[in-house]
Structures are given as structure tokens and as C-alpha cells.
Structure 1
């Protein structure tokens, strides 16, 4: 559903919005987060996330990222 853009290191949602990297967890996962203000008004919100905060978060392990 969300496509990874390797060049810009971001995910693209079905509504063509970016999920940008926010931080790295202790376990080695990079967190990609959507903009909850944009998600709140999105017509695809229910298909995208069940979050009460209206925010999509994707975890990607650093080993899956090519440098």
C-alpha cells in the first residue's frame, strides 16, 4: 500500500504524501511517520491506519536500507 522511495529515503502513501524518517529505535528500526494534520483530512485515512492519532508509522530495519 505504501511505496518506498529509495532515492529520497521516504515512503509514499496512496494519497501521494510523504512519510519521512523521524528516528531510529534501539532495535535498529528507522521510523517513518506521516503528517497527522494532512492525514486527518485525508479520504483514505480508514484504509491507511487505525491510529487514534490519525498518524501512520512504518518501521524499516536498517539492514534493509541500502547504502
Structure 2
């Protein structure tokens, strides 16, 4: 997993899909099962806004 670039002021959320597909239908969160903002055909890990924020907090840069 890439670390923050020295010129960036934040780390991107690793759980955010690289290519977002619009819904409806919306995909279910892989953590809690609630609907997400992403269409069902969005590749990669899809999380609801709450779980996405929690994942970003867990993996945030410490420096």
C-alpha cells in the first residue's frame, strides 16, 4: 500500500473504489450490509459512508 506523498496533505481512503459506477441499484456495504453510494457494478471494495470513514481513520497516515 502506498504511503502519503510528501507534497500531499492527506492520504486517500484505500477503500474507495477506483472506478465508481452510478446506481441504482446500489451495492451493499461489505462491512455492515447497508446500501452504499456505489452501483452494484462498481469494481473493488465498496463501503457505506460510515464504514468508509472508519476505514480511513484506521489506515490514516500517522505523520
Shorter-normalised TM range: under 0.3
The structure with the largest strand share of the pair is 1
* Structure with greater Cα Rg: 2
- TM-score of the aligned structures, taking structure 2 as reference length: 0.28
Higher relative contact order (CA 8 A, sep 6+): 2
